[in-house]
């Protein structure tokens, strides 16, 4: 099939594109290559994708509708997967405008593109952060998400709302994908695992927020990609309701699905796994919870499993060493 994926120089977009190319599909990637983190890492991901005959790339910002149109012309996509975004909870306090431009204006441009192209399926990457102040766990897709704790979450919630309205107005089959703390090889330098491994290897202290009492539902990248690939085939319609509390709308071909491991991990337990994977102890700098951070994420993956027959299953004890191995290879100087 023909896929258009936004964000293919990014962590998740790169892995999804590579899996689809390995499966024999054609992929057109779209990415702005912003400098939010190391652009060389983004170029290295794209260099891997460029080795595939079925991959074409268009560089452009989501806010630039003409650039998106060029990508669409190249792709003639049957399926669109929108993963490009301005990510990061803490950065949303420092640079809020970039979140409005990318996650709202940029996502609206993707929706307008889908309105014109009428793909078989549009999938939109969202986040567990939309659950915000929700205190009941595990987070279920039918829970209210009206209290985002940071602007990043608010813009993703806004994207979901816009996607629903376009799905209803223009009959665009759409699935919103709520990701829970994705990690793995080729991961983002702004995320905890990358920072922990880098600091411990170099003998620097690591910052542990919430005094180590926070918890996260970690999802390994291979599990996430497998889930997305299976969901691409499940086009929302009245005829494919799952046997659980489905989120499929009664008025639109629209569904929301958590992609989560379903087993939250205490932050200090995560640090212990990183230490064992590196064979080194961490120097820990305990800090209070940062503004906008959630105390815990814990996703209900029952709908995902009912729809696809699959749920994330790779434990951190297996996933973290794979990241450490990649980091050592990519940045050189293997650990002794």
Catalytic residues: 152
Residue 76, Ramachandran bin (φ over 0: left; ψ between -120 and 50: alpha; else beta): left
CA distance 136 to 118: 37
Provide the β-strand partners of residue 108. none
Contact call for residues 305 and 257 (beta carbons, < 8 A): no
Instruction: At 9, list the tokens.
Output: 């120089």
Instruction: At 10, list the tokens.
Output: 């990014």
Run of H or E residues at 284: strand 284-286
DSSP 8-class letter at 105: I
Provide the β-strand partners of residue 87. none
Count other C-beta atoms under 10 Å from residue 202's C-beta: 7
Run of H or E residues at 159: helix 151-170
Run of H or E residues at 69: helix 65-75
């Amino acid at each position: 099939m023909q896929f258009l994926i936004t964000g293919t120089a990014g962590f998740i977009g790169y892995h999804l594109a590579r899996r689809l190319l390995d499966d024999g599909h054609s992929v057109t990637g779209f990415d702005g290559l912003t400098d939010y983190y190391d652009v060389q890492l983004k170029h290295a991901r794209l260099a891997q994708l460029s080795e595939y005959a079925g991959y074409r790339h268009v560089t452009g910002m989501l806010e630039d509708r003409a650039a998106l149109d060029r990508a669409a012309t190249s792709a003639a996509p049957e399926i669109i997967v929108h993963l490009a975004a301005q990510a990061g909870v803490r950065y949303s306090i420092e640079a809020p405008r970039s979140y409005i431009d990318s996650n709202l204006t940029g996502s609206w441009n993707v929706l307008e593109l889908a309105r014109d192209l009428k793909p078989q399926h549009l999938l939109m990457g969202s986040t567990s952060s939309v659950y915000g102040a929700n205190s009941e766990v595990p987070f279920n897709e039918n829970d209210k998400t009206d209290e985002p704790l940071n602007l990043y979450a608010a813009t993703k919630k806004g994207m979901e709302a816009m996607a629903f309205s376009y799905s209803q107005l223009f009959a665009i089959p759409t699935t919103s994908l709520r990701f829970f703390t994705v990690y793995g090889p080729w991961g983002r330098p702004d995320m905890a695992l990358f920072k922990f491994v880098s600091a411990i290897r170099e003998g620097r202290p690591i910052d542990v927020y919430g005094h180590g009492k926070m918890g996260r539902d970690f999802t390994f990248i291979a599990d996430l990609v497998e889930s997305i690939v299976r969901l691409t085939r499940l086009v929302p319609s009245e005829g494919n309701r799952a046997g659980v509390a489905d989120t499929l709308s009664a008025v639109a071909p629209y569904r929301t699905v958590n992609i989560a491991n379903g087993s939250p991990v205490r932050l200090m337990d995560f640090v212990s796994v990183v230490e064992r994977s590196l064979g080194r102890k961490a120097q820990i700098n305990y800090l209070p919870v940062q503004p906008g951070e959630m105390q815990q994420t814990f996703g209900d993956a029952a709908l995902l499993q009912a729809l696809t027959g699959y749920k994330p299953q790779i434990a951190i004890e297996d996933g973290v060493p794979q990241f450490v191995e990649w980091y050592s290879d990519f940045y050189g100087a293997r650990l002794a």
